[in-house]
A and B are shown apart, each in its own frame.
Chain A
Amino acid sequence: MQKAPWTVGLALFLALGSLLTLFIWIPNDIETGVIETFRRRVTIGDAMAPTMMAIGILTVSILMGVLAIVRPEPYSKGVKEGLDKHSLSFLLRLTIAIGLGLALMIHTGPLVVDLVNLLGGDLGSYRLQKATFPYKYIGYITGGFVMVFGVIRVVENRFTASAAWVSIFAVIVMTILYDVPFDNLLLPPNGN
């Protein structure tokens, strides 16, 4: 048997969150009450369900926290729970890879169009080109490639040519899968 500090921490976090929700968020961000009376007709208001859920989370988290202290969960030795510094390091790396991929996906197309305009082209805004080859693919292929290749890089902890080939192949296959057969489907970010 071992103690579960993460369970106690989680219980405290949830209890605090549900109290804030009950006394600050719900009263200030829902315009009808728990019970509404309109022309002598009594109905359930919009605040009822979230209030019940917040009370539920508060009650269960208190129970969970107290039980985790007085009756620790029957873990066997070696069972891990919670996030350690390695998890946070992994999440940071993953966030960079995915974030960079998404940023390139959104901005590469408009940047290329602006660049062509700067070099003397007359493409207008990206909005006018987002259904035109090759501009409609630039953002998705660049961002998608960086995302897939970046995540593989994070996991394998090295750059390899085979990972790059796999990434570019996968992104091109996805582009063909979604965009070529269906006129009505829009790849990111062309629908926004």
Chain B
Amino acid sequence: MGLLDHIWLGIVTVFTADPMFSILGLPISTTIVMVILGFLGGIFVGATPGIGGPFAMAISLPILISIFGFNPDALLPVLGFLVGIMKGSTIGGAVPAILFNTPGTPDSLMTTLDGYPMTKKGKPGKALRIAHFSSVSGDTFSDIVLITCAPFLAILVEKFLDFPEKAALIILSLAFVSAVVGANVWKGLVAAFLGMFMAYIGTGEDGYSRLSLGNDDLAGGFPLISAVLGVLIIGEVFKALEEMWREMRETAAITNIEATGDQKLRLSDIRRILPFIGISASIGTMVGALPGIGSTLAATLGYATGRKVYKGDTPFGEGAPEGIAATEAANSAVAGANLIPVLSLGIPGNVSAVFILLATETISGFNPGPAVFRLVPDQINQEMVYAFGLFTAMIFANGLNWTFGGVFMRWMGVMVKIPKQRLLPIVLLLTLTAIYVQQTSMFAVYVTLGFGLLGYVMRKLRISVLPFVIAFILANNLEEAMRQAFAVTGADPWFLFASPISITFIALAVVVVIFFARNQKDLS
């Protein structure tokens, strides 16, 4: 079976497998319904300040797995829903940023700089349309790069990397994430080491589960979903609640501004913003393809670059449509590209990618990595079919974004009125319930709260949680790669330096750490 056969099977699976209902005799598949629901939910949560795409992905993943189960049939509906959330929340985040000067997600912080001044000038409709057009353009560009690059990169990895090189590549990725994310390289490295250490508790090849202190619950290890959701979501909820507790009395009134004049997106507007979209989409895609650098940095870089090349009348920061375009195209372009390291290497680069990988780790039948794109003569590689199914779901979500996204986005302005201090306690209970429903164990709930406390303390000590989470997820892959590499090199203790490629990866890891340690960032 060739590549085209797999692409076609992926498309057919998304559109025809397991129809949920029919419209005018046309069967509508479960995956399509899930992409639509995820997309609408994504816009909803993106437009709600205080919760964003990762929150929604975290809460919905255990629910989805409970509904669809662990069989491979569940893969595309679950991944479709997560992709829908990812896409929807990206455009949703711009709504409160433009209308109320309140970024719905951290990515849209820079959107407030020009979006809100445009609203104050009576152009909220035009600002929202510019944000939508730029966001969807950036996202589509990024998806095209993902679809063309991920299989190519995976084939290269599969061809040239053996176990020692794969172990070295994981080490390089972790070093990169630790060094780049957060303000202090050493804290990032500590977080990564700690994440891996905790993943090793209750695991191992021996009959006795290592480091389990003789405890039966610990002997099974910390549930992956509890650790990830605890540190990422519960830790963030605790911190946000504390901030609100401290600042409860500093409330700001929302002023209503009447829309006046032309609100439409004209061809002349598109011509003005297209160069900025092009630059920012390229920046966002490059940033997204590197592990650990999030969409917030992409938005900042896109905005800064846009400001440098801008020569218009209205300065950036005072309501320039180009400013919105530069920010939104950059942060949206991260979404597709951050799946490149996931699908080709099995290494997640940011929080959204962590949840995609978590879904594939939980549901059987799809293990992201170089083997996904391996062509076997006269056989169907089901994993490749799922990968192209995922790409199809992403393209379908983009289609929704282009056609209906703008309308739904403009309806969501009302979400900013939901008080965050009432929403986050509900998110807390919803997360704990979702964990219990999937794990059916109070131990998993306690572990989630424990990791939540750890995530809270890490944030208070300005230790980035992303290296911890990614290291926790990759720990067993690294150990397995090292065991295999040790075995295939005939118990060579220097197996990490056995080939020029692995030496290069290890050297790069050292260089990245030293480079970022010497150029420490200002923590403010």
Q: Closest Cβ of chain A: how far from B133's Cβ, in Å?
A: 35
Interface-centre pick from A49, A177, A178 (highest chain B CB count, 10 A): A49
User: Would you call A49 and B246 a contact (CB within 8 A)?
Assistant: no
Stretch at the interface among A40-48, A117-125, A128-136: A40-48
User: Would you call A148 and B425 a contact (CB within 8 A)?
Assistant: yes
Also in contact, A53 and B193, with CB within 8 A (given A83-B460, A86-B246): yes
- B residues contacting the other copy or chain, number (CB 8 A): 67
Q: Taking the complex as formed, is A69 at the interface, i.e. its CB lies under 8 A from any CB of chain B?
A: no
Residues of B within 8 A of A184 (CB): 66
User: Would you call B212 and A49 a contact (CB within 8 A)?
Assistant: no
Q: Taking the complex as formed, is B266 at the interface, i.e. its CB lies under 8 A from any CB of chain A?
A: no
- A residues contacting the other copy or chain, number (CB 8 A): 75
User: Would you call A82 and B461 a contact (CB within 8 A)?
Assistant: yes
User: Would you call B433 and A144 a contact (CB within 8 A)?
Assistant: yes
User: Would you call A151 and B428 a contact (CB within 8 A)?
Assistant: yes
Interface-centre pick from B197, B213, B421 (highest chain A CB count, 10 A): B197
Q: Taking the complex as formed, is B457 at the interface, i.e. its CB lies under 8 A from any CB of chain A?
A: yes
User: Would you call B429 and A144 a contact (CB within 8 A)?
Assistant: yes
User: Would you call A50 and B186 a contact (CB within 8 A)?
Assistant: no
Complex CA distance for A60 and B242, rounded to whole angstroms: 30
Complex CA distance for A106 and B359, rounded to whole angstroms: 29
Q: Taking the complex as formed, is B211 at the interface, i.e. its CB lies under 8 A from any CB of chain A?
A: yes
Closest chain B residue to A26, Cβ basis: B211
B206 contacts which of A31, A154, A163 (Cβ < 8 Å)? A31
Q: Taking the complex as formed, is B522 at the interface, i.e. its CB lies under 8 A from any CB of chain A?
A: yes
Closest chain A residue to B189, Cβ basis: A60
User: Would you call B436 and A191 a contact (CB within 8 A)?
Assistant: yes
Chain B positions 454-472 with a Cβ under 8 Å from a chain A Cβ: 456-457, 460-463
Stretch at the interface among B114-122, B324-332, B395-403, B483-491: B483-491
B200 contacts which of A53, A75, A102, A154 (Cβ < 8 Å)? A53
B487-524, CB under 8 A of A: which get 1 and which 0? Answer: 10001000000000000000000000000000011111
In the complex, how many residue pairs between chain A and chain B have their CB atoms under 8 Å apart? 191
Also in contact, A74 and B520, with CB within 8 A (given A14-B190, A151-B241, A191-B436): yes
Complex CA distance for A57 and B463, rounded to whole angstroms: 14
Complex CA distance for A3 and B486, rounded to whole angstroms: 44
Q: Taking the complex as formed, is B187 at the interface, i.e. its CB lies under 8 A from any CB of chain A?
A: yes
Residues of A within 8 A of B487 (CB): 43
Residues of B within 8 A of A94 (CB): 238, 241
B248 contacts which of A53, A76, A98, A157 (Cβ < 8 Å)? A157
Also in contact, A49 and B475, with CB within 8 A (given A155-B248, A178-B437): yes
Residues of B within 8 A of A83 (CB): 457, 460
User: Would you call B210 and A47 a contact (CB within 8 A)?
Assistant: yes
Q: Taking the complex as formed, is B204 at the interface, i.e. its CB lies under 8 A from any CB of chain A?
A: yes
Could you list some 29 contacts between A and B, CB below 8 A? Answer: A25-B211, A29-B211, A30-B211, A31-B210, A32-B205, A43-B487, A44-B486, A46-B206, A47-B210, A48-B479, A49-B482, A50-B200, A53-B193, A57-B197, A60-B186, A64-B184, A74-B520, A74-B523, A76-B523, A81-B460, A86-B246, A151-B428, A152-B425, A155-B241, A155-B421, A156-B248, A171-B429, A184-B66, A188-B433
Per CB-CB distance, the 10 closest pairs between chain A and chain B, nearest first, are A191-B440, A76-B524, A64-B186, A46-B204, A151-B425, A42-B491, A53-B197, A56-B193, A188-B436, A30-B210
Give me 15 other A-B pairs in contact (C-beta within 8 A), A61-B186, A67-B186 excluded: A30-B208, A42-B491, A46-B206, A46-B210, A50-B211, A60-B193, A76-B523, A76-B524, A79-B523, A81-B462, A157-B245, A166-B422, A185-B66, A186-B437, A186-B440
